[in-house]
Structure 1
């Protein structure tokens, strides 16, 4: 009886530990809201040899030599800008060979889910990357393909020339939808049942309505996230995945995931968030941002913000971005550096989980795929580039605002000013809010003053964090008179709460609101003293095992 009882305790304890460990590996939407994400394209981010002169012709679409080890070696570059999460390309083995527009350097042509892309490195390299990211207290996001596999037909008829036996684990035609071509991308049934490829690289569409396909994808995802300690997922081509499976996939994986649905209609994005998955890239705001800062129409952005707030369950769970690997670089619309600074300010301070795509900080150009996928090493990882210090400061003030008020990332931004070429938004609780004032006038704009109504309480001193200039809110009418010049953005925060921000000469320390208000500025602990999520998790399980066994 004693042996039986002990075995039961062992089995029960092992099950509890296994369940809790699997659940705790990934991070929730609420945890990801506090993060800012640097999106890499593994093949184009950094090489193992550290070269900054290795050639990479983006238009050719070929592998250029970026690796997981190269990413490890450049994590300082990412972290020094204030990012605390890194997204990497799909990790699985892709189809080999070449077509007229290139190779599978991007990772979106899957062949074998259970093998790694050897171009990026070994299993140990990926484990090392994950460990290094987590040792720094950062999160790791994996780009993921669950809609299709890939097969190079090289102009043969995809309906008859695909050898399904080469795929792992989907090695039978029964795992796929019958071949058909998408004729109308606005027809969601077409997009979900037909193939997204062409007659050079077919992308056989997985039969994701079928329970066997769903189970295989779910099991692979769980295994992969567990093995490599993945904290979150980006779901490529989510629009083409059966919606009911998206719901099941999101619910059962239980981690933060954001699914690509490239639609500018708020109604579609909000419907997906309501019914299928908790996060998507905020394309309606993206297109409105372009209208504001490249077409001179700020009203479109103001109106779209209101539409999203009233239509979506949680705009703060969506992804805020102004560039990614699927759209034109901002600098391809306009080379104006002031407009680019306004765009990144909007991206990092508006509602949602902010993503900055590699090369955006270097003001790369690139008019769509594949030109928007140039190798970052050609920039020399220049940390003095015009946008790098702006991004660094914005990351600092976002984190500091969250430390001053833990509800900051769940608070909706709202418009407090709209002019012919300027808009201002406030985010956060009264007295601890961040206010951003943006302009689309560009670098040719001459100096002038602008009066903002209803900002902070009368007499409040505020710091403009990008120029480090201090202003005082008018004691009579609570207006804030701001110096504008060269079309540059302005970002304000109460001066009395700047301690610990690491901005404008203030110390960098992990201080709470109470500590800043009372003047007791003892740090909550240095990075070395604090347990990372992984270490804390290990300590928890050790204690649990002690209790159980």
Structure 2
């Protein structure tokens, strides 16, 4: 490998998509090592071993049809930088969250050219690329005083890290931000983001990274573990959409971070939704309570969130219930909220892994089958109805959802004219009628449940009666929304929207005069990037 210096401060960047551009997207999350291999093989992959299984950037590129055909127009991949090598007491760094070198890629995933080819292939399809980034820490298998820092890049001095202390109290924000995550088996060395040198280095690095690989968005790992006022300059330097991980069930605590980055993963809603639909005795009221809280505490309300049901850190939903109707209701909610829908790979295949590492199964064991897969079909319909609503209503994305009605087992939420009636009655639950008023539909408006393709007619007052059968959700829109959607026998539009300005590939190495100028004005100058 040859380390080629890239001028960070003056590099020509990708014209990244804005937060508004991302709002219309839906994201498919990939654990790179577990999605697809370069040669299409299906090697053994025992999640309990916590070892690399062979998934690569090339593997993702070769299976973009699978992702796009489900209606997704963006992907989120694992962190890409070089991680610590070898095996630890917690296995290998196949997941990408144990970085040690910002300026080289994780060669287990492929080469820089492989990643650029993935980016280009996505953009050719009108899709976006989101890359996970880890800023809070580097990883080590030892702790001070035996820990040596010289092997880390670029933070190779003890002063680049906070002094060792373990987080003992997650309610103590100083500890959360300045103490270390992990333990003596794998210590996550807390980087000193109060240091001007660290801050400048990070800002230059992220600017170069997004530019060089034509990245459209970043997902920020462990964002709450860094002081909030670090983030605005970092996000601005990236030049792309940002969404942070704030693991908390507190809406006000989580929502405050939307004042420092574009969006956050909506963990408070995740806690509510999983508790509501994991069983037939779940508490539906938690969702009704959560929606107005989100709109109160999050910048732009729920619009500044990423909505999800599963991810790489949490047990899969189907480890809690295999009742398909409950699963469909919970999955549907992800697509009808104000946030950007995010689907974790394997969810559509009915994967059932529990706590990690069990929830990081290899997708090749599914053979990427889409026929006779009820959850694949469900995802296709949910993506389609969301896109149909966006196409039919120019204000759909900016319109905040509202609760129309809720009771012990049922809830109806509405965003624009997209009405979603959800239930935790379960597949063996008795049939129920859910009477909905205040929907805003016109008298006798012709509607359709896009999941069953059953026609519904609003009454003379615009009210709607929903008849739940088999515990299935109903996702209702005006019949006029079907045109071009591919839903319920309608034809599907072939229109493809190119990403807003992610067409330029990469940073350009500039001449000596430009490099000299950057050095003179004190901007971080030349940093190596492996090519």
Structure 1 residue 375 displacement after superposition? 0.9
Shift of residue 408, structure 1, vs aligned partner: 1.0
1:206 and 2:191 are equivalent in the alignment = yes
| Cross-structure match for 2:170 | 185
1:254 corresponds to which of 214, 239, 258:
239
- Structure 1 residues 445 and 461: CA distance shift in structure 2, 3 A: same
Would you say the 8 A contact 2:89–2:186 is kept in 1?
no
1:244 CA displacement? 1.5
Question: In the alignment, which of 101, 104, 126 is matched to residue 112 of structure 1?
Answer: 101
Residue 453 of structure 1: CA displacement?
A: 1.8
User: Residue 297 of structure 1 aligns to a residue in which SS?
Assistant: coil
| Counterparts in 2 of 1:297 and 1:457: CA distance versus 1, 3 Å | same
Q: Kindly report which structure 2 residues correspond to 1:137-536, keeping only aligned pairs within 5 A, or say none.
A: 137-153=126-142, 158-274=143-259, 276-294=260-278, 295-314=281-300, 315-384=302-371, 385-428=373-416, 433-455=417-439, 456-475=441-460, 477-509=461-493, 526-527=495-496, 533=500
Deviations 1:239-273 (A, max 9, x none): 11122112321233332111111010011012222
- Alpha-carbon RMSD across the aligned residues, in angstroms, is 1.8
Which runs of no fewer than 5 residues in structure 1 stay unpaired?
1-17, 511-525, 539-549
Give the CA deviation at 1:330: 0.5
Take 2:137 and 2:327, find their aligned partners in 1: how far apart are those partners?
A: 35
Larger % of strand: which?
A: 2
3-state SS of 1:248 partner: helix
Q: What is the rounded CA distance, in whole Å, between the counterparts of 1:79 and 1:309 in structure 2?
A: 31
- Equivalent residue for 1:11? none
Q: Secondary structure at the match of 2:182?
A: coil
Superposition TM-score, scaled by structure 2 size: 0.89
Larger relative contact order, structure 1 or 2 (CA cutoff 8 Å, min sep 6): 2
Give SS of 1:402's match. helix
Tell me the matched-pair count: 492
Task: Return the alpha-carbon distance in structure 2 between the equivalents of residues 199 and 407 of structure 1.
Answer: 52
Is residue 464–residue 493 contact of structure 1 (8 Å, CA) maintained in 2? Answer: yes
Which sits farther off after the overlay, 109-118 or 453-462? 453-462
Write the deviation string for residues 153-199 of structure 1: whole angstroms up to 9, x where unpaired.
Answer: 2xxxx121211010111111111111111111221211111111211
CA contact (8 A) 2:215 2:502 kept: no
Q: How many Å apart are 1:104 and its aligned residue?
A: 0.2
User: What is the aligned partner in structure 1 of residue 82 from structure 2?
Assistant: 93
| CA distance in structure 1 between the aligned counterparts of 2:237 and 2:395, rounded to whole angstroms | 27
Secondary structure at the residue paired with 1:93? Answer: strand
Q: What TM-score results when the alignment is normalised by the length of structure 1?
A: 0.87
* Structure 2 counterpart of 1:10: none
Deviations 1:476-522 (A, max 9, x none): x3322223211100001111232111111111126xxxxxxxxxxxx
Q: Kindly name which structure, 1 or 2, has the bigger radius of gyration based on alpha carbons.
A: 1
Measure how far apart 1:201 and its partner are: 1.5
